Each structure stands twice: as structure tokens, then as C-alpha cells.
Structure 1
Amino acid sequence: MKLIIAEKPSLAKNIATALKVSKVKNGYIEGNGYIISWAFGHLFSLKNVDDYLGEKKKWNEVNLPFIPTEFEFMLKQDKKTKKTDSEVKKQFETLKSLANRKDVTEIVNCGDADREGQIIIDIILKQIRTNKKVTRLWLPEQTEDTIISSMQNIKDNKEYLNLYNEGIARTYIDWLMGINLTRYVSLKSNSIFPCGRVLIPIVKYIYDRDIARDNFVEEKYLILESKSKVLDQTINLSLKDIKYSLDNKEKAIEKANLLNKEKAFVKCITSKEVTKKPTKLFSLSKLQSKLSKEQNISFSKSLPIIQKLYEGGFITYPRTNTEYLAENEKSKVQTLISNLNKSLNLNLAFKDSKSIFDNSKIESHSAIIPTTKIPKDLKGLDKIVYDIILNRFISNFYDEECIAKKSEMRISVGEELIYLTGESIINEGYLKMEPERINNKLPNLTKYQEFDVKFIVSEKKTTIPKKVTESELANFLKNPFKNTKLDEEIEAMNEENDTDDYKSILNGIEIGTEATRTGIIQNAKLYKYITQDKQYFSIEPKGILLIELLDKLKIELYKEKTVVFSMIQKQVYKGTKKIDDVIAAVSDELNTIINRENIEVNSLIENSSEIINNVKSKSKEIIGYCPRCNYPIYENSKAFNCSNYKGGCKFALWKEDKFFTSRGKKITKAIATTLLNNNSVAVYKLKSKSGKEYNALFTLIDDGENIKFETKFIN
């Protein structure tokens, strides 16, 4: 008998369906030679300081830095009661009992196919202390075919030891940094300032941009521009590279008068046909960036939708940092193309291209693509997200080239030479699936044609730096030392730059991971360091104070230092460093910070006490984000309302919604938060009309006007 431990109940259900395991028991499913059970994500977390000390102490009574002699895990606690979560404890006891059954000869680790999934199940197995054979089921997608085929190719769990070590290293780093820096900064400032290895660079990046905006001084300058009428068209010419200060206006006028004595002369027109390449497949951050830019779906809103599509078996594993597929996936892609051609009447063809298949640019997961399981009844945001993933895949394998004509026109005016460029589409190709706006059309002029010019002096001004966007922040975190102004099209054209990007990623030169960044950004908002309006971030007074405190205390854990720890973590994965090396490096850094000559920040805190008080008195907890307009949802005495009510949004979750009250429940803050973030919530101990208790999974369905709930009964 094989015991398969899945990371979540939804994955366990999909495995059971694929393996035809149908006998539902209390906390597991059994049959056909398998026992399938599950965790709820992390069942265990690292012990807190008081657990190590064996007693509860005030923060100022504990010497910093606090470095455990040996790290220990405990069952997760309920956030309110601070006691072991009863549901977690019950499920762990179920897993322990199943693992110790005499008829179980093999245990299969089926955490999600990533570093975090690896350690979730491995930690459970270490707490069970079993000596039975342990294997690893690695699922890049959750279709029945993939589950069945992957079961035939399971590997020894020991082959993933370095992945486990990397995950544990990351866990220890984050615990040490978070616990010690939060306590140190908070004690110094007499107010709570949560700190973290990834959190600090996020706040700093937004802080730097907003400070640059605050310090921005508008500068005016002069350039020469001409608008000429040639037949029925207006020809715009500009000498953008020649700028004059306002003091040199007379010189600019003199230059304009000189040019106006000349005629514009079309020296040459060159054109060439080029084959346009589609944009690469999606990594998680690239997908979320596109959804944020084009659909106004925030990262926090898109992540659960993407995860839901994966758990439904419609897309491959989403928490990936690459835009390439593995070379051993070619046959799978060929099958997918064949299925899409038949089911959707498409015209796709397999392309064995290095721009699509490249092992050297993959760490552990390939790009996000559809699976052979094609959905039939997706609606709303689920359909929007799926279609974007599907269309990107289709674009890369469309059996029709996109041909464009790129033209350049050189126009001379006296000694000045002006270049005009344009592009027109000859054959749409993949643009049928992913249209692009083509605006830069050339004027209709012929070679050697002359026309009059009318240059005038135009006043221009420098523009203030833009607010940080979600996609920009994601690009920064993915490669903090890259010029973030480079967009996807430039990257696609510059293969050398693209290669350098992936060398950086594979060497750990990134901040956080695709899987964790969205949650940490949400934490930064929760702590009142930053706010978000649609896709734009702003620093808040408490965030400014945090950075000022860090600077005053000489805590320079910004991108440079944070990346150092990311690189050490990656060296653990490669086997060139050990976990003890990581602990030593972090301990040295913390000792350097905390044992510096005593630094007082009283003056800073006194001047900022009003900020702290305002944050405490005025702060509102964001329950989630509106599924209609993406504005924050806040709680009041009767409901959880959209904050965009002045803009006309009427979305609300009423606490005494009849659907819930008729079942013996109200919509609590916990239920509302889960519904808004995950679209579904499991509710236990409901009461039927006959008074019988039952459990159910409720899914929020919002058509833009009315809210309904879909019910599925669960054990």
C-alpha cells in the first residue's frame, strides 16, 4: 500500500480521481492500493522565541540577536488563541497514524512541485520519524494523464535533498532576520515595526521613488519643431537632440529662422520586411504584470485565480520564474497542439525553437502554458486569465508568420538630418491572438521630394518620475540590478541580455521568489508602510519612518545585502554551501547590526510620534479587494463594503446574509477575507433545516450586479 501525502486537499482529490481511489474516510481517501491524505499547506512552523526559552518574556528581556542552538518546528498555532490549531493537530495525527500502518510500505511526498512544497511534506515526515521508503511525486500540472504518467516515474525523495536544504535555508534566514530585526527596530523606536529580508527592499524601492518625486524640480527647456502641410497631410519634424535653455531663446529663434530659409528634402526611404516574433511564454510575474497593466487585476487578486486554474488542471504549475519550456516537454507540447487544433479549430504547428525550449534558462519549472484539459464553462476573471495564457501559447505556435514592413525616412533640412521610422503589418500572424497597437506610420512622401518647413521654438519641461507600478516592482525584485525600463519587446529582441537575465536568476540574484512576493507586498500594505491605488504604489508616513530608522541604525539590508543572502541560499541548492554556513552568515550580519555602538533614535521618534499615533488611529484593515473594481474592501458594523462606493460600486458582503444565516452562520471577517482572496471558503458545523451539522465549500459568484454562492458538500 502506498500513502500519498498531498500538499492540499484539492490536490489530493485530483490524485484520487486520476487513480480511481474513491472510499472517503476521515481525513483521507483509500482504495485501489493507495491511501491519499493531505496537509493544509504548512502544518508546521518554526518555534517562536518564547517556545525556545520555555517561558513568555517581554521583548526587552531577551538578548539580541536571538539565535537558536538548534531550530525546531511545532504544529501551527491559531493566530487568535496562540494555541495549537485543532484542525491542524487532528490532520497531523491522521497522517501519523496512516504512516505507521503496517500495510503502508511506501510514502509518497506530493507537495507542490517547488521548494516550498518539498519542505512542507518533508517536515511532516521528519516529525512522524518514519523509516519507511519515501518517494517524490512531482506534478507539473494536475491533469489525470499527467498524474497517472508521473506515478510511473516517481523518484527517490533523497534526489530532492538539495531542494529541501535550500527551502530550509530560506526558512531559517527569514526567521532570523524577521524576528531579530523586528524586535531590535521596535525596541529602539518604542513602536512595532515589522521587518523582513524581502519586505525591507520592497518598502525602500517605493520610498526612493516617492522621495525622488517629492524632490523633483521641474526644468524647462526649448526645442525646435515644425508642422508643414503637404497636400492633405501634416508633416511633423522635431530636432529633439538639440535643446536650449530658456536663457538661450534668442539663439533658438535664430536657428529656427535659419532652418526656415531651407526646404526639407527627403534624402532616402528604406524599407525591409521582417518577421515579428511573439512575446515569450509567461513566468508568474510576467503574467501578473500583463494582467495588472491591461486588465487592472492586481497581483493579490490574480494569484488565487491563477492557482485555482492550476488546481483545476487547466494550466501548468504557475509559480515559475522562467519564460521557457524544458527540452523534454516537446512531445507533450506536440500533443497539446494537436488537441487545441481539433477542439478549438486552430492552425498551430510545432516549432522546435531555442526561443521556446531551453533547459539552460530553467531552474525547476517551465513557463506557464495550458494543459490538454480544456475548460468549457469558465466565467469572469477566471476566463480572462485563462484566455491570456492560452493566447500567449497560441501566439508562440501559430502556423502563420507575422510579417511587418519596417521603414526609415531620412529628411535633411540644411545641415540637420531627421530620421522618421514607421512600421506596418503585411501579414497579421500571431497578432490575431495578441494584437499590438501600431501608431508610428510614416508620412506619404517620395524620395527626393521637397517641402517647406516652419520651425518654431517650443517650450518643453522635464516630467516627474512616475509612481512605482506592480509590474515595475516585480521586475525590480526579479532582477534588482537590471535597467527596469527595458520592456518585454526589447528583451525579446536582445538575446544576449536575456541570457544575462537568466544567469542572474539561476545564481540567486533576485529578491524573494515568484511564490512569495505577492504575499510580502500585501504584508507591506497591512503594516501601513505602503498603499496601493489600482496598480500604483505610494509610500506612507510609517514606511518613511521605517526607512529613516533603518538608515539611522545603519541597517543596510536593501537590495545589495538581500541579494547576498539569496545567492548563499542558491549555493545551498547547488551543494557548495551548507545550512550551517547560512546560519553563520546571517548571525554575523545580525551581530554587526545589533552590537554597534549604541545608536539613539529618540529625536527621530519624538519628531515622528504624531505619525505613529495617526497610523494607529486612522488605519483600517484591508479585508480584501473588490472583484468588480479592485478597490480595497473595509469592514463596518453591518458589512464588508467596497471603498469605491462614491464611484458607484455597490459590492458588499453583508454579515447577516440570508444565505449564511439560514445555515446557522454569519459572514465573519475570516470568512470574508478568504472569500475575497481565494474566491472560495470552507465553512464547518453548518446546520441544515433538520438541525443536522454539515461542512461545505462556498464559492463566490458575482455577475457584476448580484452576489450568489455555489455550494459543495465536504467532509
Structure 2
Amino acid sequence: MKLILAEKPSVAKNIADALKIKTKKDGYFEGNDYLITWAFGHLVELYDAKDYDSKMKSWKMDNFPFIPSTFKYKVKSNPKDRSQTDGGAAKQLKIVQTLIKRPDVEIIVSACDYDREGQLIGDSIIYRGAAPPKPVYRLLLNEWTPKEVIKGLENMQSNQMMRPLRDAGISRQWADWVIGINLTSVATLKYQKGKGKALNIGRVLMPTLKIIYDRDKEIDNFVPEDYFKLIATFQTKEKKEYQGTYVENKEEKFKSKETLEQLHQSIQGKQATIIDKQVEKKKEFPPFLFNLSNLQGYVTSKFKGFTSDKVLKVAQSLYEKKFITYPRTSSTALEESIVAKTANVLKVLAEDLPYKDEIKFMKTKRVFNNAKVESHSAIIPTYLVPKRLTSDEQLVYTAIKNRFIMQFMPIAEYEETSFKTKLADDIVKGLFTSKGKVQLIEGWKKVEKIQSKDTILPFVQVNDSVSLVDSEVTSHVTKPPKRHTEKTLLRVMETCGRSYKEDESEELLGSILTGFSIGTPATRAETIKKLKDVGYITTESKNLLCTELGRDLVETFPVQELFDLEFTGRLEKGLADIQKGKASKQEFLNIVFNFTNKSVATIKDADERIINEVASQKISKEVLGTCPQCGGKIIEGYKGFGCSNWKKGCKFTIWKNDKYLATMRKKPTKTMVKQLLSNKKAYVKGLTSKKGKKFNAYLSYEKNPDNAYYSWKMEFND
């Protein structure tokens, strides 16, 4: 019997479907000599500081730096109440461990995502306590289609081969814990007055904040300057007109308006000659296949209501539904080993397209290139064509599908024509340049109906005479840099501050693929979301800008290395090198621990300054009703409406972030709680369905007959 551990229930179901296993039991599938179980992402987490030492329950400057001699793990905490264990995680962990110990299980297979986080999730469960006395293998897949699952099970690797990947995952986890716990605590004690949300300090959070801060400062310090251009209109002997821009010493922007005005006056009615004509055919290649950052940038810039975090969630859903390949990739090319598979995917997707006769499969270095693949190939569709998708899924899937098909359409071509027109008057030192462009072959642009603007120049030859029939001096103002959007911020994070254009720098692309970046494709969206959640940045339309708190933090926080893109890039590069077996976990952690000790000392010695004052929130002690569990008084707390007898063990609570209500975009109110306690049900207006429609209903909050938990029930008025 083989036991397979998947990262999520949906993936376990995909594996069971591929193996034609229908029997589902409590926490696993069974059949055909397989047991298939699952995690819910991480089932275990690192100890909190207070779990190591009770003195860490209260934040005191003297308690830091705090670095455990041995890092320990516990069952994941309840997200609603971190003082309690997550019941679902504890139950599933027990099921998995029981299955591992079953006498008929001979082989254990980790089928978690093929990245350092997936490796960490699988290993933290399989090796919890002690290594099982059974061989452990790794299922390494880029997609969850039935064909790939079967093929992957036939080509598994020993999990020992994944030791470097696990070491990279552990190093990332421990490093972020040590930096986050120590610097967040000490910075909050130093720079915040009042109790409330901590001043979040993180390895990836700080340099990302600094990128936005620097752009804001550039805009604040920008001084606009006026400049001017001279635009002339010429006429050929055939009465065809075209425009030219005056250029002198390779410069077409002039600071002096008076100079151009004098020139404008002196050239009226003059004759001119075409002294140069260039006609050049140029090729336009399609943009590269998507990696995650490029997909997030494309979707967030093109469609309203999307954040990079939302794009990742939608892409992850498409991946788990078997419609696209692994989304958390930094690669923009495909492995050369999947040429035949890719050809099959293209054949399936091209069947119903109006331009299918133009689609031609070719193996090109632009698409298939092992040198441009790091761990996972670029994101492409699978051979399974979706029949029903949500509107968000359809939008993201179409973007991925279109980008894939573009690679196998004809290369777009256009003709570019340029003239140089010289006035007969020798007093005029410069000349006038004109450019025209005509699209010859639409090619891949058909896929997304990209319209190219043609600028057509009249047909002329060198030495042709033309007449200047009009001219004008136009006024312009230099513009400040644009504010960062999620698209531009992701690009800076991906390239560690070095901007690049497609096809421009192989060396730079190589640095990205070797891990020299800020964060990973999987974590960048989460970082941007966290910056918003903790109040360091805000959004205006699609633009990102620092809040006052974010600016004050950058200008006050004394550990400047944490804002340095190079420093953060080197840490990320260190993790990438561990993953490749080129560096040691302990050396990396020693660097992090030394940096943390030094940073804590720096913050302690820095000048005193309060940058965040948290106003104390007064919660009314109004009694809202009688506790249905013990008869105590229900009052409002910070996180929910609970029983005043909680110290005596009563756990009745209606949480303010209740997940069931959140699915209908509602939070419990005092009025709702009062109705529930007095009438056993409350009439709630303005609930929202999954399709976005508003409705009203009666809600009750009733104790489950077989356990101590309460559940919501809904009724509708006849």
C-alpha cells in the first residue's frame, strides 16, 4: 500500500480521480493499493516566543534579542484565537500520522507543491517526531492532469534528493521568524505609544516599502521644466502633406521659446529638399510566456478590481482545477523536455479559433529554453479545456491561453519610413525629421485584437523638392516619474531594482532566475497586501503611495540594511543557493542571527521618537443578553461578543470576523447579537450571495448536538 500526502484536499481529489479511486473516508481516499490524504497547507507552525520562555509573554526591551537554541514546532493555532490549537489541523494531522503508522503502508509519497514551501509542508508532517521507518518518495509535478499524475507516479524520486529544497524552506522560515519577532517587537517598543497593532518589520516588507517611498520622494522633489518644439508642415508637388520636427545637434526639445519663434518667423514659405529617406522592415515578436509576476502585472494593469494577491488566488484555483500549469514560477520559457506535450496542448486549444490556419507549432529557443527555466516552466494551459469558470477565472485563463497561442502565430511585421527634410536657407542649421509606420503582417496581434496605429507618409524620393506651408512652436512641460502600480512594483521586486526590457539583457534575466530578487513569485503579492493591511501604503486608483506612517518608518527606522535592495537580494540569493546545494543552511542562518543581534542593538541605541500613537479603544460593557450556554452576561470584546464567565471556562463567542458571515459580506453587530439572544434568531438585511445578489434572511446561532461548537442556520420568510 502506498500513502500519498497532498498539500490540499482539492489536489488529493485530483490524484484520486487520476487513479480512479472513488472511496472517500474520514480524511483520506482509499483504493487500488493507494491511500491518499491531505494537509490544509501548513498543519504545524513554529513555536511563538512565549512557548519557549514564559517571560516572553510580555514585551520588554531587555528580553531582546531572542533567538531559540533549537527551533520547535506545534500544531497550527486557531486563526481566530491564537491561544488555542486549530481543531481541524489537529484532527487531520492525527489522521495522517495514523495512516503513516498503518502496517500495510509500505511507501510514503509527498505530493505537496514542488517548491521550497511545499517541501517544508510535506516534510514537517511526515517527519514530525521522528523519521518513519519506511521509504519516503517525492511526486514532482507541474500540473495535476490525470496523464501527468500517472506519469509522475512512475517517475518518483527519493525524498532524500530534496534535502536542499527542505533546507531552503527551513532557512526562509527561521530567518523570517527571527527577524520578524525581534525587530517588530523592539521597533514597536521604541517607536509606538499605546497598545494596538505592532509596527511590522520584515525582511521583504521593508525594502518593498522603500521602493514606493523612493518613488514618492522623486515625485515630491520633481521640479517641472518648460520646453518647446518646432513642428513644420511640408507639401509635396503632388499636394500631399506631412509633418516634421525640427532637430539641431540631435536635440528636438529646446528651452528657449524665443529662439524657435524667430526661426518659425524666418522659415515661412521656404522651399526644402528631402536629403535622406530610410525604409526598413521590422519584426515584432510576441511578449514572452507568463511567469507569475508578469501575469499579475498584466492583469492588474488591464482590469479593474484585481490586485496581485487576487491574481495569484485565481491562478492557484485554475491550477488546482487542472486547467493551467504551476503558477508560482519565475520562468518565461518552457523546458525542452515537454515539446511533444506542448504541441498536443496547442492542437487542443487551436481547434475552434478563427485564425487556426495561421497557428503553426515550432520548437524555438524563445519558447523552449532550459537556460531560462528555474525549477518550473512558464505558465501555460493544460490539455484539459474548462467548460465552466467564474468570471475572474475566465479572465485570467484567457490571458494565459492567449499568451501561449501568440508564441505559435506568425511574427508581426511593420514597415518604418523616415525622412530628413532640409530647408534651402543655409541660415537654418538643423533639419526636420519625420517618421511613418505601416503594419504589414498582423500576426500574433490577432489573438488579442491589438490595433497598431499606422502613420503614413507620402511617397517621396531623395532630392525631391517640397514646400513649407505652415509651422508652429508647441509648448510642453517635463513630467514627474509615474507612481508605482502593482505591475511596476512587481517588476522592481523581481529584478531587485534593475529595470529591464524584454530581450534586452540576458545577464539580468539570469540574475532573476538565480534568485537575486526581493521575495519569490509566491510571496510578492502577499507582501504588497500586507503593506496595505498594516497601513504603510495606500492606493489611489491603481497607484501605490506611502502613508504618513510608512514615510515616518522609512525616515526613522535605523537599520538601513533592511531597506537596501542589494542586501535583501543577497539574502534571497542565499536561499536560492541553499536550494541548489551550493550553500549551507547553517552559514545562512548565522548571517541572519548576527544581523538580528546587531540590528536590535542599533534600534536600542537610536534616538527616541514616537512615530505611531495608538488611541485606546473603549469597548462598552453594555450587557447584550444572556449566554445560552451558561446563563452569564454577553458583552462586546475587541474580537467578538462573548460571555463574561470566560474565566470560568465558558467559551460561547460570536466572532467579529466570523467566516460564515464573511462569505455573505457581513459582520455581526450589537443589534444582531441582541436579537439572537432574545429571540433565538435575527432578521438580517443586505446579505450577499456568491453571485453578488443582495438578499435578506433569518439567522440563528445554535449549538451542535454532537460537540461544543455553535453553527449558523438560515431561514427565509415565506
Corresponding residue for residue 286 of structure 1 = 294
Aligned partner of 2:42 in structure 1 is 42
- CA offset digits 1:401-421 (Å, max 9, x no partner): 433223222333444234333
- Aligned-residue offset at 1:595: 2.4
Q: 1:517-666 counterparts in 2 under 5 A?
A: 517-550=524-557, 552=558, 554=560, 556-596=562-602, 599-602=605-608, 604-605=609-610, 608=611, 653-654=665-666
Letter in 1 for 2:597: N
Instruction: Map Cα deviations across residues 653-679 of structure 1 (whole Å, 9 max, x no partner).
Output: 356999xx9xx99999xx99x9899xx
Aligned to 1:96: 97
SS at match of 1:127: coil
Aligned to 1:451: 467
2:76 is the alignment partner of 1:76: yes
Whole-angstrom CA distance in 1 between matches of 2:224 and 2:39 = 56
Aligned: 1:58 with 2:67: no
Out of 367, 381, 406, the position equivalent to 1:356 is 367
Residues 52 and 68 of structure 2 are in contact (CA less than 8 Å); yes or no, is this contact kept in structure 1? yes
> Equivalents in 1 of 2:490, 2:16: separation in Å?
36
The equivalent position to 1:272 in structure 2, one of 271, 274, 280, is 280
Q: Of 185, 208, 214, which residue of structure 1 is paired with 2:187?
A: 185
Specify the alignment match of 2:630 in structure 1. none
Equivalent-residue separation in structure 2 for 1:656 and 1:439 (angstroms) = 54
Corresponding residue number in structure 2 for 1:162: 164
Normalised by the size of structure 1, how large is the TM-score? 0.82
Q: Which has the larger radius of gyration?
A: 2
Note the alpha carbon deviations across 1:336-383, whole angstroms, 9 max, x for none.
123234465733322111111111111100001110001122342221
Unaligned runs of 5+ in 2: 620-637, 639-655, 693-699, 713-718
Do the aligned partners of 2:493 and 2:519 also contact (CA within 8 Å) in 1?
yes
Of residues 412, 425, 430, the one that matches 1:402 is 412
Distance 1:504 1:449 in 2: 53
Quickly say closer, same or farther: Cα 1:113–1:675, change in 2 above 3 A: farther
Q: Does the C-alpha gap of structure 1 residues 570 and 425 become closer, same or farther in structure 2, counting only changes over 3 Å?
A: same
Q: How many positions carry a matched residue from both structures? A: 637
Q: Please tell me whether residue 125 in structure 1 is matched to residue 126 in structure 2.
A: yes
Pair 105,534 (structure 1): closer, same or farther in 2 beyond 3 Å = farther
1:145 counterpart letter in structure 2 = K
Match of 1:225 among 213, 224, 231: 231
1:173-252 correspondence runs (5 A): 173-191=175-193, 192-227=198-233, 231=239, 233=241, 235-239=243-247, 241-245=251-255, 248-252=256-260
Query: Is the CA contact (8 Å cut-off) linking 2:235 and 2:466 kept in structure 1?
Result: no
Distance 1:675 1:51 in 2: 40
Q: 1:204 touches 1:547 (CA, 8 Å); kept in 2?
A: yes
CA–CA distance in structure 2, aligned partners of residues 374 and 254 of structure 1: 66
Q: CA deviation at 1:453?
A: 5.3
2: CA distance between counterparts of 1:691 and 1:609? 47
Identity of aligned residues (%): 32
1:621-679 deviation line (CA, Å, top 9, x unaligned): 9xxxxxxxxxxxxx999x999xxxxxxxxx98356999xx9xx99999xx99x9899xx
- TM-superposed deviation, 1:291: 0.8
1:26 aligns with 2:26: yes
Mapped to 2, the partners of 1:46 and 1:106 lie a distance apart of: 28
Distance 1:383 1:461 in 2: 42
Shift of 1:579: 1.1
Amino acid at match of 1:198: V
Aligned partner letter, 1:321:
S
Distance of 2:297 and 2:618 partners within structure 1 = 32
Cα separation, partners in 2 of 1:675 and 1:184, compared to 1, 3 Å: farther
Distance 1:640 1:59 in 2: 34
Does the 8 Å contact 1:27/1:37 carry over to 2?
yes
Q: Find the counterpart in structure 2 of residue 375 from structure 1.
A: 386
Structure 1 residue 554, shift from structure 2 partner: 4.5
Measured in 2, the distance between the counterparts of 1:667 and 1:581 equals 61
Following TM superposition, by how much is the alpha carbon of 1:445 offset from its aligned partner in structure 2, in angstroms? Answer: 4.4
Give 3-state SS (helix, strand or coil) of 1:273's partner: strand
Aligned amino acid, residue 438 of structure 1: S
For the Cα contact (< 8 Å) 1:542–1:615, is it kept in 2?
no
Q: For 2:379 and 2:411, locate their aligned partners in 1 and report how far apart those are by CA, in whole Å.
A: 23
Secondary structure, counterpart of 1:595 in structure 2:
helix
| Match in the other structure for 1:116 | 117
Whether contact under 8 Å (1:285, 1:321) holds in the other structure is yes
The amino acid that maps onto 2:412 is: C
- Residue 223 of structure 1 and its aligned partner are, at CA, apart by 3.2
Question: 8 Å contact 1:185–1:549 — kept in the other structure?
Answer: no
Distance 2:285 2:519 in 1: 30
- More divergent stretch after superposition (350-359 vs 376-385): 376-385
2:155 matched residue in structure 1: 153
Distance 1:283 1:257, change over 3 A: same
Give the match for residue 645 of structure 1: none
Question: What's the C-alpha RMSD, in Å, of the aligned pairs?
Answer: 3.6
Change in Cα spacing, 1:427 to 1:103, as seen in structure 2 (3 Å) is same
Q: Give the secondary-structure state (helix, strand or coil) at the position aligned to 2:80.
A: coil
2:438 to 382, 400, 424: 424
Q: Which moved more, 1:416-425 or 1:84-93?
A: 416-425
CA distance in 2, matches of 1:46, 1:548: 32
- TM-fit CA distance, 1:157: 1.1
Structure-2 change in CA distance of 1:675 and 1:517 (3 Å): farther
For 1:679-694, what aligned pairs fall within 5 Å after superposition? Answer: none
Counterpart secondary structure, 2:208: helix
Tell me how far apart the structure 2 counterparts of residues 362 and 556 of structure 1 sit (CA, whole Å).
Answer: 29
1:616–1:172 Cα change, 3 Å:
farther
Aligned equivalents of 2:334, 2:479: Cα separation in 1: 40
Is residue 504 from structure 1 mapped to residue 511 from structure 2 by the alignment?
Answer: yes
Query: Which residue matches 2:15?
Result: 15
Distance, in Å, in 2 between the alignment partners of 1:197 and 1:427 is 48
Q: 1:586 to 1:676 in 2, by over 3 A?
A: farther
Q: Which amino acid aligns with 2:144?
A: Q
Do the aligned partners of residues 598 and 386 (structure 1) sit closer, same or farther apart at CA in structure 2, a change above 3 Å counting?
Answer: closer
Q: Give distance in 1, aligned partners of 2:116 and 2:422.
A: 60
Q: TM-score, normalised by structure 2?
A: 0.81
The Cα shift of 1:190 comes to: 2.8
Range moving further from structure 2, 567-576 or 506-515:
567-576
User: Matched residue of 2:120: which SS?
Assistant: helix
Aligned residue in 2 for 1:627? none
In structure 1, distance between residues paired with 2:206 and 2:364: 40
Cα distance in structure 2, aligned partners of 1:137 and 1:564: 30
Question: Counterparts of 1:687 and 1:430 in 2: how far apart (Å)?
Answer: 59
1:392 paired residue among 403, 414, 430: 403
Task: Evaluate the alpha carbon distance shift between residue 223 and residue 432 of structure 1 in structure 2; reply closer, same or farther with a 3 A threshold.
Answer: closer
One-letter amino acid of the counterpart of residue 413, structure 2: I
Judged with a 3 Å threshold, the aligned counterparts in structure 2 of structure 1 residues 75 and 85 are, in CA distance, closer, same or farther, namely: same
Q: Tell me how far apart the structure 2 counterparts of residues 473 and 564 of structure 1 sit (CA, whole Å).
A: 19
Alpha-carbon distance between aligned partners in 2 of 1:521 and 1:205, rounded to the nearest angstrom: 11
